[in-house]
């Protein structure tokens, strides 16, 4: 230590001056804005997820009634000879229900036809299909698990109340008494309904029968088409534009147009699909595979929509690769193509993958263009007969099916729309998880 005098501070560091205080305060305010924004976002997300789960989960359960039907050969023959076959079968089921009620000791003075309103009109077809497939069971009594009608189902789920039935010509409060008694007897219950996930769409009269399965196949086929067309074309176009194309007016114009394409309303792509693929390709050129409602056409339209997204993200990923890597490759005598494919592309792969998955997710959720090319929900009534048939057989897609259900009048369909959204979100989540896994794989290879 020396004895030299210690200098005095001109202004103390221990006291903040006004300017510093103002700066700190504004920084603190900015942080609060950020936290508030995140908080509001999370609140919205939470509300959305709660609403979806609350409204959608009931769609995965359905009311089933267990009853024994006697396959009377005379009645079946009578039904097969009539024009309204399934209606006759339905009548048989209604009789069986009455018998069932008597057996478990439920008193009613309703006639069987009215009683049958408790059951789905799909039951007639269910019994008929079974009877025709099992002629050896003829004359015997078989136990069936049949769908309850959508009103009964709504009552079981708390959607339909006795008061609401006053104006409903489909079901009376009397029916509900029977439902309560049947439920108590264990003959009627809410069960998990795999047909909602794997089944096909049903008519407006039978919401209880409708399922998303066929539309899932339609969406899957379209994703295949989109992936196998837009990824190679998009990446190749990006590589050409980014690495090879001379910088000229023309390439500038193309660049601007690609960026603009990403902002074109999707319904315009739908019209383009109708004009190019269905009217010109399928009509004028006579290519049979390009027909209305075909997932192949849907996939082509969505490919056009996804291409700009993939091209923009791929070009960004290519641009992010340091030029020193290209120079290094060229410096040891690699051709430009070798430099790109050996060094630049692997480094850009995570970015390309992210763009592709975002594009696919966008395509998976797209509805408007599909409605224009005829991939509307009510088309999805049958599974395609094979892998190749799945590309051309009329089908819908998950979002189009959900839209179709949401616009039907019956609240039972509305519930299914919510349920369909859960399935759609599960698929989107799966896509994102795949993206994360693939990205970390590629990044580990540096």
Partner 1 sequence: MNQMSLIDRAVDMTHIKIAARGVNVYYGDSHAIKDVNVEIADKTVTAFIGPSGCGKSTFLRCLNRMNDTIDICRVTGDILLDNEDIYDKRVDPVQLRAKVGMVFQKPNPFPKSIYDNVAYGPRIHGLAKNKAELDEIVEKALRRGAIWNEVKDRLHAPGTGLSGGQQQRLCIARAVATEPEVLLMDEPCSALDPIATAQVEELIDELRQDYSVIIVTHSMQQAARVSQKTAFFHLGNLVEYGDTGQIFTNPRDPRTESYISGRIG
Q: Which residues bind partner 1 (CB under 8 A)?
A: 246-247, 322, 324-336, 338, 342-343, 347, 446
DSSP structure class, residue 135: G
- Rounded CA gap, 438 and 352, in Å? 11
User: Smallest gap, in angstroms, from Cβ of residue 294 to partner 1?
Assistant: 44
Q: What is the DSSP letter of 343?
A: I
CB 31, min distance to partner 1, A: 36
Half-sphere exposure of 318 (CA within 13 A, CB side): 23
Nearer to partner 1, 105 or 246 (CB): 246
Residue nearer to partner 1 on the CB measure, 19 or 247: 247
CB 56 within 8 A of CB 212: no
Distance CA 367, CA 168 (A): 33
Q: Closer CB to partner 1, residue 8 or residue 445?
A: 445
Q: Is 212 strand, coil or helix?
A: coil
Nearer Cβ to partner 1 (107/324): 324
Neighbours of 428 (CB within 10 A): 16
SS3 assignment, position 402: helix
Cβ 263 to partner 1, closest distance in Å?
A: 29
Which has the closest alpha carbon to 307: 244, 370, 240, 237? 237
Structure-token match 């700066």, residue found: 23
Residues of 301-311 as b/e, b for ≥16 C-beta within 10 angstroms? Answer: bbbbbbbbbbb
Cβ atoms of 401 and 212 within 8 Å: the answer is: yes
Give the nearest distance from C-beta 404 to partner 1 in angstroms.
50
Query: Which SS3 state, helix, strand or coil, does residue 66 take?
Result: strand
The least distance separating partner 1 from the CB of residue 254, rounded to whole angstroms, comes to: 16
Alpha carbon distance 405, 76 (integer Å) = 34
Whose Cβ is closer to partner 1: residue 287's or residue 325's?
Answer: 325
The smaller minimum CB distance to partner 1, of residues 427 and 442, is found at 442
Between the alpha carbon of residue 294 and those of residues 166, 302, 306, 372, the distances in Å are 44, 13, 18, 12
* Closest separation in Å from C-beta 312 to partner 1: 22
Among residues 315 and 416, whose Cβ is nearest to partner 1?
315
Q: Which of 314, 299, 223 is closest to 262 using CA atoms?
A: 314
* Least distance between partner 1 and beta carbon 354 (Å): 19
Please name the residue ranges forming H helices in 116-245. 123-133, 150-156, 173-184, 194-198, 213-239
Q: How far is the CB of 240 from partner 1 (least distance, A)?
A: 15
Report the residue number, 330 or 425, with the smaller CB distance to partner 1.
330
Residue position matching structure tokens 């792509």: 269
Least distance to partner 1, CB of residue 335, Å: 5
**CB closer to partner 1, 81 vs 248:** 248
């Amino acid at each position: 230590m020396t004895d030299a005098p210690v200098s005095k501070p001109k202004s103390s560091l221990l006291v903040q001056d006004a300017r510093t205080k103002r700066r700190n305060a504004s920084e603190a305010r900015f942080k609060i804005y950020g936290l508030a924004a995140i908080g509001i976002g999370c609140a919205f997300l939470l509300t959305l997820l709660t609403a979806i789960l609350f409204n959608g989960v009931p769609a995965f359960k359905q009311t089933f009634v267990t009853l024994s039907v006697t396959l009377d050969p005379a009645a079946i023959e009578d039904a097969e000879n009539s024009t309204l076959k399934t209606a006759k079968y339905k009548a048989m089921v209604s009789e069986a229900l009455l018998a069932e009620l008597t057996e478990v000791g439920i008193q009613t003075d309703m006639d069987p036809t009215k009683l049958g309103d408790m059951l789905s009109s799909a039951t007639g077809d269910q019994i008929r299909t079974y009877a025709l497939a099992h002629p050896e069971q003829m004359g015997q009594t078989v136990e069936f698990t049949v769908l309850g009608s959508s009103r009964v189902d709504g009552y079981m789920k708390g959607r339909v109340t006795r008061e609401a039935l006053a104006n409903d010509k489909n079901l009376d409060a009397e029916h509900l008494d029977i439902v309560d008694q049947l439920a108590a007897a264990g003959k009627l219950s809410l069960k998990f309904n795999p047909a909602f996930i794997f089944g096909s769409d049903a008519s407006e009269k039978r919401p209880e029968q409708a399922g998303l399965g066929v539309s899932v196949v339609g969406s899957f086929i379209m994703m295949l088409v989109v992936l196998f067309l837009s990824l190679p074309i998009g990446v190749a176009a990006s590589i050409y534009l980014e690495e090879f194309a001379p910088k000229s007016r023309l390439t500038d114009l193309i660049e601007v147009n690609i960026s603009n394409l990403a902002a074109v309303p999707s319904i315009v792509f739908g019209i383009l699909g109708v004009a190019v693929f269905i009217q010109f390709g399928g009509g004028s050129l006579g290519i049979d595979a390009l027909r209305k409602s075909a997932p192949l056409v849907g996939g082509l339209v969505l490919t056009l929509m996804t291409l700009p997204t993939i091209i923009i993200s791929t070009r960004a990923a290519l641009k992010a690769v340091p030029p020193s890597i290209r120079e290094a490759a060229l410096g040891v005598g690699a051709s430009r193509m070798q430099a790109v494919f050996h060094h630049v592309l692997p480094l850009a792969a995570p970015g390309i993958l992210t763009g592709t998955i975002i594009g696919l997710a966008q395509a998976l959720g797209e509805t408007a263009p599909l409605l224009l090319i005829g991939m509307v929900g009510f088309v999805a009534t049958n599974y395609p007969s094979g892998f190749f048939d799945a590309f051309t057989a009329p089908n819908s897609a998950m979002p189009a099916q959900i839209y179709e259900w949401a616009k039907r009048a019956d609240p039972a369909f509305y519930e299914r729309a919510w349920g369909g959204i859960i399935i759609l979100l599960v698929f989107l989540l799966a896509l994102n998880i795949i993206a994360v896994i693939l990205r970390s794989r590629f990044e580990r290879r540096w």
